[in-house]
Structure 1
Amino acid sequence: MPAPRRRDGAPVRARPDACPGAWRRHDAADGALARFRPVGGAIAPAELRLLAGAADAAPLELTSRGSWQVRGLSVKGADDLAAALATVGGPAPLLDDQGRDVPCSVVASPRSPAVDAPARAVAGALRGRADVPGRLLVAIDDGSGDVLGLGADVAVVLGSPSTLWLAGTPTEATGDDPAGPATLALAAVEAFLAVRGDAWRVAEVGSDAVLGALRAREQERALEHAEVLTSAERTCLEVLPRLGEVTPAAARVLADLGDEGAELRVTPWRTVVLRLRDTAPDDARERLAPHLETGPSRWASLSACVGAPRCAKSHTDVRGDLARAVATGRAGGLLHAHWVGCARACGTPAGPVAVVEGTPGGTYRTIVRTGRVSG
């Protein structure tokens, strides 16, 4: 008898997803890796300093879902970091005072204050849930379409009414009350959980199955969430850490700017957006320029896996080879290129991308793809 398969044709899984978190870590060649998922990209200066301190001299990493990663931790060091983060508090903490993190990524348009409250409400309702797969992606879009392009499993676009997208496709489901965006997103997540079986992503069960479960839940009592708050438009500065690596020096400057009034948001594009309010310093760009890319850069179209020696499966020193290619003008162009050390192609972004793959012989081959290689 053939093995059972899901709707997308893949075999039924016998294990949960292995996405790391604050407490569930990945054992890499260079030690434990812990991942911290900010709510809509928000991070407080105190949190950033704790992450940078735990990383010691190594850079922090930003992921394609706007999460932070700390590598090379010992078991005790990882536990101490999580415990310290749980004491920071704030409106959108990485870990709450019970030590609970957000089980999946909740991304939001980084420049718009209108998405902050619904993102917090969604993350707050999911925090600590063991039944939510780490591969699930929830997005709150301010109407600009920036995070809508990520093809999130559940996306809500703010408007009158707000609209629901599933697996990158619009649906007829809407929410028109003040708490609509968060209520609509959470209802869709719960509908997916009701039908997912062993699936990690909405596309694996199909949007129709999720919509059917959503309609069945329409008569249930709606959850109460914070009203969407709006505020005056802010000036934003977006800066690019090369390959998503935030050095300790860059982290210190960002945290200092946060203390001085800038609101920090990390993005799924491995950048950092600073919302500069009236109290924010005027020289933010100048202070960041020695540490981060603050203008047009060849690095803007490049990303990479961690490579050797930090990953035992990598055939090549991906990041060293890529830095040399940029320095000689052989990398960085209009088409996004993602350099990887093996065929797993970890971290490959969605959309058209040239995957530059390391081989066992130490050379690279280029494969142009139109979608995601690995989740």
Structure 2
Amino acid sequence: MPPAPSNRPNRDETLVTPVRERGDACPGALRLHTADDGALARVRVPAGVVSAAQAYALADAAERLGDGALDITSRGNLQLRGLGPGCGGELARLLDAAGLLPAPRHERVRNIVASPLSGLDGRGHLDVQPLVRELDALLCASGRTPDLSGRFLFALDDGRGDMTELAADVMLLAEPGGARVRVTVGAASAWVRPEDGPRAMLLAAEAFLDAASATGTKAWRVRELPAQGAELAGAPVWRELTSSAPAPPSPPGPDSAADPESAGPESAGPGSAAPVPGAVPAGPHGVGALSVGVPLGRLSVAAWRVLADIARAHGTGELRVTPWRGVVVPGAGPGQSGAPAAAGLVTDPASPWPGVGACTGRPGCAKSLADVRADATAHLAAGAGGLPVYWSGCERRCGHPRGTWVDVVATGDGRYDVAVRGAGADVPPDRRALPELADALAAARTITTPTK
């Protein structure tokens, strides 16, 4: 039986320990980033959850102040682009009135992802949504968490294993029976009662801050610490946590998230835990949902309002944005799939869109060497159903997925480098011009790589 999932990065993502000379410049709702298409604001929404009222407020803000669209990030947050000069104050007022800025000083550290179907489909070992709300409240009340980087990531996995591919800095994993959860940071783990999980995650983040200071690295992420945070296992906080832990952990059984068979039918595509588009049946204690894919993670305010309308009229009144750039509408069913499809969203589980992603590219990003969204759309069908593919306008690869994926990077001469990245992958880049790209993509997406 393989070991329980951890939040340690893939072998190909390990980093040389840097020494940070400055704080990170990650954008937020109050700290805007200037791009070629105007200012950009990133609104943190813990676990991707927004109420229908908040969804309407975001649509209004994007329409009045931005370019009329919303982008979904790889952390399940939301971005507004094309913001005009001097609109920061008005945007802040709109977000605050909608309850999207509960703690302005902490707004960039509310990076929390969670199993998007938790409590909806009857799977998993524990509904983690109440724990998300408790963790968010603790982060916003802490005097130390504003020192965390805007890139530091918390993840709560209900036991189905969908969060493990996101390489979070602090992760909570529910265990069979729901009587305990495992909290992991770097090489350190503690088993605690579910109600103690959010506080354990906060303490883990504070232990990271202590380690970043003590080592002199001023690290932004756990994997940037020496030995990827191995020293955290000796931190006093773990003695405190384990002293109140439930019974010692047992080896994972067949119903554990460590079991590859537990991925279930809601996993979209090879190596991905994303909910597939379409209706999500209700489990014994769930309410069901409608899962909607968003092509390239960008949707118009009109399409966003369609989802908010469905949430208000046919669902539980909330939306859940996923780290795979989709949206789950809790409580909605197959009868509501027509309107999102008409708005350009994906509700067909056979669609090739969930396997394709791209960065902003031209014209929005000055560093991009190509209009990658247009090129990705033109090559949508190439290798459909195979490995996920991600298009990048430059070597920074902003927003690329985890796991194993096909890496398509613009080179600036009308060509792209095509390679396979991820654990076990050993496929060197193949440089192709656009007319030859479809064959290279199809070949790369059918490559099989060893699993860890």
Matches within 5 A, 1:51-200: 51-56=58-63, 57-89=67-99, 94-96=100-102, 101-113=107-119, 114-127=127-140, 129-158=145-174, 159-167=178-186, 171-176=188-193, 178-197=194-213, 198-200=218-220
Residues 165-213 of structure 1 show CA distances to partners (whole Å, capped at 9, x for unaligned) of 234x6x541112x522212211211111111231011112233222222
Indicate which of 294, 297, 304 corresponds to 2:351.
297
CA distance, structure 2, for counterparts of residue 268 and residue 293 of structure 1: 16
CA distance, structure 1, for counterparts of residue 203 and residue 90 of structure 2: 35
Change (3 A) 1:219 1:369: closer
Note if contact 1:102-1:126 (Cα within 8 Å) is conserved in structure 2: no
Matches within 5 A, 1:222-261: 232-260=285-313, 261=315
RMSD, aligned CA: 2.5
Unaligned runs of 5+ in 2: 1-13, 120-126, 245-283, 424-452
The one-letter code of the counterpart of 2:50 is I
CA distance, structure 1, for counterparts of residue 292 and residue 421 of structure 2: 27
Note if contact 2:190-2:241 (Cα within 8 Å) is conserved in structure 1: no
- Report the 3-state secondary structure (helix = DSSP H, G, I; strand = E; otherwise coil) of the residue aligned with 2:182: strand
Structure 1 moving runs of 4+ over 6 Å: none
Residues 248-278 of structure 1 show CA distances to partners (whole Å, capped at 9, x for unaligned) of 22111111122223331011111111111xx
CA distance, structure 1, for counterparts of residue 105 and residue 92 of structure 2: 7
CA distance, structure 2, for counterparts of residue 219 and residue 337 of structure 1: 41
The one-letter code of the counterpart of 1:195 is A
Note if contact 1:86-1:97 (Cα within 8 Å) is conserved in structure 2: no
Establish whether residue 365 from structure 1 lines up as the match of residue 417 from structure 2: yes
Change (3 A) 1:164 1:358: same
Alignment length (residue pairs):
345
The one-letter code of the counterpart of 2:89 is D
Q: CA deviation at 1:74?
A: 2.2
Residue in structure 1 matched with residue 39 of structure 2 by the alignment: 32
CA distance, structure 1, for counterparts of residue 106 and residue 340 of structure 2: 32
Percent identity, aligned pairs only? 40
Residue in structure 1 matched with residue 272 of structure 2 by the alignment: none
CA distance, structure 1, for counterparts of residue 290 and residue 241 of structure 2: 44
Indicate which of 322, 325, 330 corresponds to 1:275.
330
Change (3 A) 1:99 1:45: farther
Deviates more, 1:155-164 or 1:297-306: 155-164
- Report the 3-state secondary structure (helix = DSSP H, G, I; strand = E; otherwise coil) of the residue aligned with 1:81: helix
TM-score (norm 2): 0.71
Residue in structure 2 matched with residue 227 of structure 1 by the alignment: none
The one-letter code of the counterpart of 1:111 is L
Residue in structure 2 matched with residue 316 of structure 1 by the alignment: 370
The one-letter code of the counterpart of 2:207 is A
Residue in structure 1 matched with residue 388 of structure 2 by the alignment: 336
TM-score (norm 1): 0.85
Residue in structure 1 matched with residue 404 of structure 2 by the alignment: 352
The one-letter code of the counterpart of 1:155 is M
Change (3 A) 1:71 1:172: closer
Change (3 A) 1:186 1:217: farther
Change (3 A) 1:98 1:18: closer
Residues 37-70 of structure 1 show CA distances to partners (whole Å, capped at 9, x for unaligned) of 1111101122222222222253210011101010
CA distance, structure 1, for counterparts of residue 134 and residue 34 of structure 2: 32
